Amino acid sequence: MDVKRDRPVVPASVSDGPTGDGLVAGARSIAKGFAYTARAGVSKPLTVRYPKEKLTVSPRWRGPLALRGVLGRDEIPLLRAPSYAYNETIDGLYRADRLPPCVGSCPANVDARGQAYLIADDRVVEAYELVRDRNILPGVLGRICHHPCESACKRNFFDEPIAIRPLHRFAFEEYRKVRHERISPFPRTQGKSVCIVGSGPSGLAAAYDLLKLGYRVVMYERERKPGGALNTGVPAYRLPREVLYEEIDDIVGLGLELNTGVEVGKDVTLPSLMREHDAVLLAVGLQQSRILPIPGTDAEGVVGALEFLWSANFKHEAGVRGKRVLVIGGGNVAVDVARCALRVGASEVRLACLESESEMPCHPWEIAEALDEGVIAMCSLGPEEVLTKHDTVVGMRMRSCLSVFDEMGRFAPKFGDETTDVPTDVVVFAIGQAPKIDTIVAGTELLVSGRGQLVVDGTLFTTSVPGVFACGEIVTGPGSAIGSIATGHEAAVSIHRYLQGLPLDGDRVARPVPVYQKHAPADTRGIESNRRRAVMPMADPEERAKDFRQVELGLTRQEATAEAMRCLRCESEVCVGCTFCARTCPDYAIKVERVDEAGARCLTRYDLDLTKCCFCGLCAEQCPTKALHHTGQYELSFWHRDLMVFDKGEMLRPPTGTRATGRDGISPPGCPVPRREDG
């Protein structure tokens, strides 16, 4: 049987050893290799340079920790600076990463950290005066402010934010007991005068700063009582009028010449005020409500929000007793209108807005309180037509709103085909406010836009006429009281520089707009009671909706002191014994103890056991005050194991040199190890 082979059979004599050709090829290859080696040996080396890279060493590996300061020995820094230099102070702290989030997030940069420190130290009156330098009306804002400081509070990351706004109110309640002893006029040193038109929060802030700088300040208010929108628009159940008037009286006591019941443009002209004074500030706010241009708005029963609130506040009567009221709008003013309507006798109050429930622009706590009182919310509906009968309101036709904003976040509502007729007797439009300054600017060269708005530089707060300035909502549009106060401070700086002959911008430092890391809400389950935020007591919803008594009842002295003690004193570089470092330490190497007695708070113990420490650095990363820091003392040398426990005194050692020795310098071998608790 024949077998086919895949390859030819090679005789053994041929396959057993190399052929002559193979030997020649191998020798040639070896020779070539030697040639390459010889050539490389005589040639110069080639150096390849790569881009220089900075070596970053993690701060976690920079030696044993130390403390910069401790509670009871070191003062918490208070933010005090003249108004014209305050922005520079805030900007410097922000650039140095030393600005507390609560201060940086406040439009007026109120020292909330300092307030908590002083209240916890039983220096409540001093706390009020510290806050007043920037807040102007702590008792007022302690009741109505939307408190962006609390939203930024670093304690949000750990449990619950500090109740900064209620602490403003508490400080005022204590201050008002001695207010007459604390007020005396500022000395008048400048020899120049400033006229302010309008007595709202922005005008009062500017007046306060200018009085401190030594100017004569004269203010005109068209209403019989001062306060601007705080007086005419904010409901009394949120802001008792005696609180507002007392704080304004204090500013009058500091030297403000206040004239009420005088309408500029009618009783006195703006040109005459410009001739009489060295500078004029317009802080007139927004005086009229906006009404949608839809059919039926001229019928009896249609009213604007500002007019409605004025009647409700001053007359406690708005012509709605026993009637159904429909409020159009989803902002805070709309919620105020709805809650006031209940208090002046409306049988039913509905609030309709374009936005969905989660998009409503009002503050969440405001609408929650309104719903508790009986207001009915109707979301994702837009007004289309006021239904009338014999020129009287009988209802409102609403169309479903599919979306309020476009893909770019701009206001561009889209409506569906579905409509709903809502029966009602009164329609209140609360969709915004507009300026009304025609009579005020008459006879001047002040420029007014086609929409009736004063033309103002929003940075320097100057107008088209030299020496005439503007601030508040006439510049910014509808906003918050603390936002208006911030513009008043800036306008006062511009006026001061103008009167001193300085460039309005020049070396002037703009207020920084800090950006802080946002945290998700902390899980507060299992949190100890002493770490929880003080709860503001509230009046019963069914009872409070019957009149204008205060809804929030205020904190007791004990509650306020305990709340102030919760403040972490962020970025102060002073350890307050918050224990977050000890809670974070995975090796249980840290023990912290403090005394929490009002007026005598102090850190009594801080032990760092280096026999347990793994130098992970988590404790320093968690420290809210930045008091805990790495020293760079890389070398560790100890005579005895007990010396590796650094107590409070050793933690306050100067972070110099590279060697950490504990108490070796005072404890040679064989001697007892003393415990040192200095500092």
Packed helices 164-175 and 557-565: angle between N→C axes, nearest 10 degrees: 130
Predicted pLDDT at 277: 97
Query: 448-457 as b/e, with b when 16 or more CB fall inside 10 Å?
Result: eeeeebbebe
Residues of the chain with CATH 3.50.50.60: 83-287+436-499, 290-432
Question: With respect to CATH, is domain 59-71+572-666 assigned 3.30.70.3270?
Answer: yes
For residue 8, the model assigns a pLDDT of 46
Reported as half-sphere exposure (CB side, CA atoms, 13 A), residue 570 has a value of 27
Tokens of 174: 């204590």
345 close to 320: Cβ distance less than 8 angstroms: yes
In angstroms, the CA 505 to CA 256 distance is 27
Distance CA 232, CA 238 (A): 13
pLDDT the model gives residue 11: 46
Closest residue by Cα to residue 361 from 480, 446, 466: 480
Residue pLDDT, tens place only, 369-389: 999 999 999 999 999 999 999
Tokens 């008002």, residue? 176
For residue 54, the model assigns a pLDDT of 62
Residues 362-382 as b or e (16 or more Cβ within 10 Å = b) = beeebbebbeebebebebbbb
- pLDDT for the residue 57: 57
Q: Residue 348: which residues within 8 A CB-CB, separation 6 or more?
A: 324, 325, 376
> How many whole angstroms separate alpha carbon 191 and alpha carbon 148?
39
Cα of first residue to Cα of last residue in the chain, in angstroms, is: 108
> Where in the chain are all domains bearing CATH 3.30.70.3270?
59-71+572-666
The predicted pLDDT at position 615 comes to: 84
- Using DSSP, how many helices (H) and how many strands (E) does the chain show? 25, 22
Q: Mean pLDDT in each 10-residue stretch from start to end of the chain (679 residues)?
A: 45 50 80 81 71 60 83 92 94 94 95 96 96 96 94 89 96 95 94 96 98 97 95 93 96 97 95 96 93 93 94 91 95 95 95 92 92 94 94 94 88 91 95 91 90 89 96 92 96 97 90 80 80 91 90 94 94 93 93 87 92 87 90 76 85 81 54 46
What order of strands is seen across the sheet that includes strand 468-470? 257-260, 216-221, 193-197, 279-282, 468-470
Q: Give the helix ranges, DSSP H, for 1-136.
A: 12-15, 20-42, 83-95, 101-104, 112-120, 124-135
pLDDT for 14 equals 43
Tell the CATH topology of 290-432.
FAD/NAD(P)-binding domain (3.50.50)
Decide if 574 contacts 594 (C-beta within 8 A).
Answer: no
**What are the distances in angstroms from CA 604 to CA 48, 71, 576, 596, 676?**
59, 9, 10, 10, 12
**CATH topology assigned to domain 83-287+436-499:** FAD/NAD(P)-binding domain (3.50.50)
Show the DSSP H helices in 121-238 as ranges: 124-135, 138-144, 148-152, 164-175, 179-182, 201-212, 229-232
Only one residue has tokens 């009062």, namely 204
SS3 355: coil
